[in-house]
Amino acid sequence: MTTSRAIKVTVNGVAYERTVEPRLLLADFLRHTLGLTGTHVGCEHGVCGACTVLLDGDSVRSCLLFAVQADGTHVETVESFGTIGQLNALQEAFHEHHALQCGFCTPGMLITATDLMRKYPLVSDDDIREGLSGNLCRCTGYEHIVRAVRAAVARARDPAP
């Protein structure tokens, strides 16, 4: 018996009520049930970081969490960041520094960098590299991603220019 359960989840400020099987992963709930395909699914076992989302403000792998566990929580995905016409500051830095090629890892990179910037001072490139080491990118060689995060950290510290 695997009784489906009714859950209420707020995603990007919108309240959703759905009935889901317990084994439905949060990543698949976001993509298939809600149609929010900004969250990407790569390895599906917590290694690649592509599916990282914010759960009550903390970055988490949405492939290692069941949708039923998100009942009553606030989830933020990349769709809550900027729009194409109005990128947020981190996305703007990714754009300026060419921090993406195919874009598959980008949502996870943006979410992870957002949580890192809130929790760590990221004073050196080593700190940034360590922080991003749980997110795999097969295109860029990481150099431009590190550069973009470095620029975003600098801008957050001194927003003047």
Partner 1 sequence: MKPAAFDYVVAESVDAAVKALAAADGEVKILAGGQSLVPMLNFRLLRPSILVDINRIPDLAYVEERGDAIVIGALTRHYRLETSPVIAEHLPVVAEAMRHVAHLAIRNRGTIGGSLSHADPAAELPMLALLLDATLEVASPTGPRTVPAKDFFLGALSVDLAPDEMVTRVTVPKLPPVTGWGFAEVARRHGDFALAAVAATVTLRDGVAGEVRIATTGVDETAKRARDAEALLTGKVVTPELVEVAIAAVRAGINPPTDLHASSDYRRHLVGVLAGRALADAERRAHGEEP
Quick check: 64 binds partner 1 (CB under 8 A)?
yes
Quick check: 121 binds partner 1 (CB under 8 A)?
no
How far apart (Å, rounded) are the C-alpha atoms in residues 113 and 146?
10
How big is the CA angle at 143 (ends 141 and 79), to the nearest 5 degrees?
85
Sign of the CA dihedral running 40, 81, 14, 57: positive
**Range in contact with partner 1 (rule: CB under 8 A) among 61-69, 81-89, 92-100, 147-155:** 61-69
41, two tokens: 């699914």
Identity at 13, one-letter amino acid code:
G
Quick check: 5 binds partner 1 (CB under 8 A)?
yes
**Range in contact with partner 1 (rule: CB under 8 A) among 9-17, 47-55, 80-88, 142-150:** 47-55
CA-wise closest residue to 21 among 35, 9, 7:
7
**Range in contact with partner 1 (rule: CB under 8 A) among 10-18, 81-89, 127-135, 152-160:** 127-135
The least CB distance from residue 43 to partner 1, in Å, is: 9
Quick check: 133 binds partner 1 (CB under 8 A)?
yes
